[in-house]
A and B are shown apart, each in its own frame.
Chain A
Amino acid sequence: MKLVGAISFYALVVVIVVVAVFPFYYAVLTSFETGTAIFQVNYLPVSFDLGNYVAVLTSRNFPISILNSVFIATMTVLFSLFLAVTASYALARVPFRGRSTLLLAILAVSMFPQIAVLAGLFELIRFLGLFNTPWAMIVSYTIFTLPFTVWVLTTFMRGLPVELEEAAIVDGASPWIIITRVFMPLLWPALATTGLLAFIGAWNEFLFALTFTASETTRTVPVAIALLSGASEFEIPWGAIMAASVIVTVPLVLLVLVFQRKIVSGLTAGSVKG
């Protein structure tokens, strides 16, 4: 009886792992196949052809899309961390009237469906002359990175000892000095977690990136992959799509695996959407 239990438990573990990993494994497998090999279903690797990778990386626009995505995601992270650190100090440490209302309002923003602001943002982006530039995305992504960054950092700052700050105040430190000199060194773990999650969010975003770009050279990676087309309308370049997918996913998977614990703690503290 016990043996049966153990065997079925491990069978369940195997099923979970296979289901979780197989699609990515299969994408990698396909990305190494070219020509007609791609149209034969293989369960195990049979060919190792870098043709798709060469094709994607030497194409005119895909490398530009990667640079666009790196730039946009990095700027989004810096932008929202800067805004969030100062704000969460005020929210965590200074009692003022309307504080909980403000926190609730920020939470409400994180629940906004993106489509509800799309029309208004579209107008704003056009008005500011940001349409079809990376700044359109950097500005609009704060709508989903800022709320959870503020929440997680506020929670984290509340947990820091009050004595630290009091000692600094007694020494005559201004709030700005307190943030930059006293809190920042302690905040690194929380900054790393929220920064990472904001980066992933900005890297993966699709709706705004699709709507606020108009030319191939301003596309981000998800848009480029979604709109990657072959020589003709009916010929979908699956090999190239899989190679592009693997290229943009591997760094992300590595990041997530390396920072597993941080991400899990960030997710549970902020309950960020996936």
Chain B
Amino acid sequence: MTQQSLTAGRSAALSTRTRKRRIQLRQVPSYLFLGAWSAFTILALSWVVLASVKTNREVFRQPFQIPAEPQWVNYERVWSNSQVGQSFLNSLLIVGVSVVLILVVSAPASYILSRARFKGRGLLTMIYIAGIGIPYPLLFIPLFALLAGIKLINTMPGLILIYVSLSIPFTVYILTGFFSTLPQELEDAAVIDGATDFQVFRKVMLPLASPGLLTASIFNFIGLWNEFQLALIFIQDPDKRPLSLSLYTLKNSMTYSGDWAGLFAGVVIVVVPTILLYIWLSERMISGMTLGSVK
């Protein structure tokens, strides 16, 4: 350590000691504001969980009380009667297959776009990324006509195809960010050792990019798990609905059935997988999210 940084360090230590009190006092509004905001968010979500084990009477008569007896039967009711169970499985299938396919097609393209040198690379990257700016509603009608033409309307493979295709721009954007941070040396070393182009990609670069692949899968999983706009257009049969669309129909039928407790149980079923994933992997998500935009 140099003399300069030593003194700087000491003066910093000194100043924090003398200013400690004042700084903490200055932070009080921050703690209050951020604390209140967080408390609101956590309470609002807990309130839904609480409402999901109440009777329909209690949901509105005693909105803030702990229920007299937890009504787990609400979960049973929506799971079997309202086809939430079926849609849960549909969602697992649709989203799982989509996420795998998204990575299978996007990772090779991102590798090429960020590391290979060829004419028109910049233009091609721009074409891929431009998709982020195209609003989905523009595609509703042409895609419906297209899918009807190939007889994939109202089928899970059709929805998967749409999900995969529309997720490519965003995924390529994230993955090119990851691939371009990888060191050149390893690539060169592999080439010198006689690896083929494909081996360099498959055996050297792809494993190195696995944190990026994981980040991209989490984002796509959460995004598609929650998606209901496209599902609303391309799926009509109740037994093919993904979970979020099922919850939408459940919410609409509430106007007639009044089964709010059941609706809240449905909400909890939709939300639990993404919240668990978030609690487990939020650091990775947050660092991955800013990779492309904050250099």
A and B bind: no
A residues lining the B interface (CB < 8 Å): none
